[in-house]
Amino acid sequence: MKLLVTGGSGFIGSNFIRQILESRGDGVRVVNLDKLTYAANPANLADVDQRPNYQFIHGDITDPEAVRTAMEGCTDVVNFAAETHVDRSLLGDASFIETDVRGVFVLLEEARKRGVRRFIQISTDEVYGTIAEGSFTEESPLNPRNPYSASKAGGDRLAYSYWASYGVPVVITRASNNYGPYQYPEKLIPLFVTNAIDDQPLPLYGDGRNVRDWLYVRDHAAAIDFLLDAGEPGEVYNIAGGNEAENIEITRQVLRELKKPESLIRFVNDRPGHDRRYSLDASKLARLGFASRTAFQSGLSETVAWYRNREDWWRPVKEKDAAYREYYRTQYGDRLATSSATAKEPAGRR
């Protein structure tokens, strides 16, 4: 297998590359095409980047020439590359449309011309929108409600159209919220862990009772590895963690793990259009023979330990990266100034 992984220098992509190099050994050659946006970190792959069966290419999935070069001789493609942070998409960033829709188109066009064995499009559970009760199956209608999830839904359906129209052997995955080592400290868990280590406030949106299903990143990586062989072309697979919890509960667990006080919690104005609850039915994947294994408590303990041991990884971002600091000010400055110790009204829901 010669595998093109896009976005392999980010959080999930780097965990996946480590996983597949371990599981398949000499049976795989990996090409990682990554633009190295703010969310990437070459250090994520420092332990594997000298391997003879690993190659890095610095490039953009919206650039047909870069994609052509990277896909040369590849049998399989896994597309992780994306703009991924909902809050940034709500700041009106056009790169979500560029990468998450047009970039997918450029990759699919090259795969169509070339012919590949599998093309895995990494989509997200956010494309289903919010659900009050029960769980989304792969047949549930799509109802993305923020610019990030709408862009991802575009990429998801575009990928499907290349199966339906041209027979490109596309497999689409929709995973729930990932957590684990190497996650950029803008997402809930790494932000709250690193803030708590520094006794900084934890800005919880709205009433803190939005529900996410937490999937340990190594389980996600193993699921993608599994689907490269077991996934049926044209099919969608939900990948769940089986660990649903309200944000306030996750926050309390983080604080307990670090032995920090709950007084660090600050309730701040809600995210616009904040999806109340995500919940996935992953029985289709289970029927193929895969289930996530990691219980949240043990995954969280490992994750917290990782951030404690790897201050060399996250402190340069939080303390020296001017763009990160500017983002933090924009996102949280006013919110923290008007925060309170008690829950705020959740954003209006339709």
Alpha carbon distances (Å) from 96 to 58, 105, 189, 254: 19, 13, 22, 30
Residues 65-84 that bind ligand DAU (CB under 6 A): 84
Number of other residues whose CB lies within 10 A of the CB of residue 271: 18
- Site pattern 45..64 for ligand NAD (x: CB under 6 A): ---------------xxx--
Which of the choices ligand DAU, ligand NAD, none does residue 210 contact, using the CB cut-off of 5 to 8 A by kind?
Answer: ligand DAU
Minimum distance between the CB of residue 213 and ligand DAU, rounded to whole angstroms? Answer: 8
| Contact (Cβ atoms closer than 8 angstroms) between residue 41 and residue 182 | yes
Residues 208-247 that bind ligand DAU (CB under 6 A): 210, 212, 247
CA 316, CA 293: separation in Å to the nearest integer? 33
CA 98, CA 105: separation in Å to the nearest integer? 10
Residues 272-301 that bind ligand DAU (CB under 6 A): 278
| Contact (Cβ atoms closer than 8 angstroms) between residue 152 and residue 123 | yes
Question: Active site includes 72?
Answer: no
Q: Which position among 110, 126, 225, 244 bears the catalytic label? A: 126
Minimum distance between the CB of residue 37 and ligand DAU, rounded to whole angstroms? Answer: 13
- Reading the block at residue 112, the tokens are 């169509």
User: Which residue in 68, 65, 103 sits closest to 83, CA to CA?
Assistant: 103
Of 118 and 271, the one with the shorter C-beta distance to ligand DAU is: 271
Of 6 and 253, the one with the shorter C-beta distance to ligand NAD is: 6
Four-residue CA torsion sign, 9, 174, 29, 226: positive
Number of other residues whose CB lies within 10 A of the CB of residue 19: 19
Which of the choices ligand NAD, ligand DAU, none does residue 11 contact, using the CB cut-off of 5 to 8 A by kind?
Answer: ligand NAD
Number of other residues whose CB lies within 10 A of the CB of residue 234: 16
Alpha carbon distances (Å) from 85 to 126, 186, 230, 255, 314: 12, 8, 30, 23, 17
Q: Which listed range, 38-46, 69-77, 205-213, 237-245, lies at the site for ligand DAU (CB under 6 A)?
A: 205-213
Q: Site for ligand NAD (CB under 6 A): which residue of 3, 4, 5, 9?
A: 9
Task: Locate all alpha helices (DSSP H) within the chain, ordered by sequence.
Answer: 11-24, 64-71, 86-89, 95-97, 104-114, 147-166, 188-197, 217-230, 247-258, 283-288, 296-309, 311-315, 322-337
Q: Site for ligand NAD (CB under 6 A): which residue of 28, 86, 101, 103?
A: 103
Q: Which position among 34, 125, 225, 270 bears the catalytic label? A: 125
Of 74 and 120, the one with the shorter C-beta distance to ligand DAU is: 120
Which of the choices ligand DAU, ligand NAD, none does residue 204 contact, using the CB cut-off of 5 to 8 A by kind?
Answer: ligand DAU
Place of tokens 């705020």: 344
Residue 33: in which H helix or E strand, if any?
strand 29-34
Which of the choices ligand NAD, ligand DAU, none does residue 86 contact, using the CB cut-off of 5 to 8 A by kind?
Answer: ligand DAU
- Site pattern 11..50 for ligand DAU (x: CB under 6 A): ----------------------------------------
Give residues in contact with ligand DAU (CB under 6 A): 84-86, 124-126, 176-177, 187-188, 191, 203-205, 210, 212, 247, 271, 278
Q: Give me the active site residues, please.
A: 125-126, 148
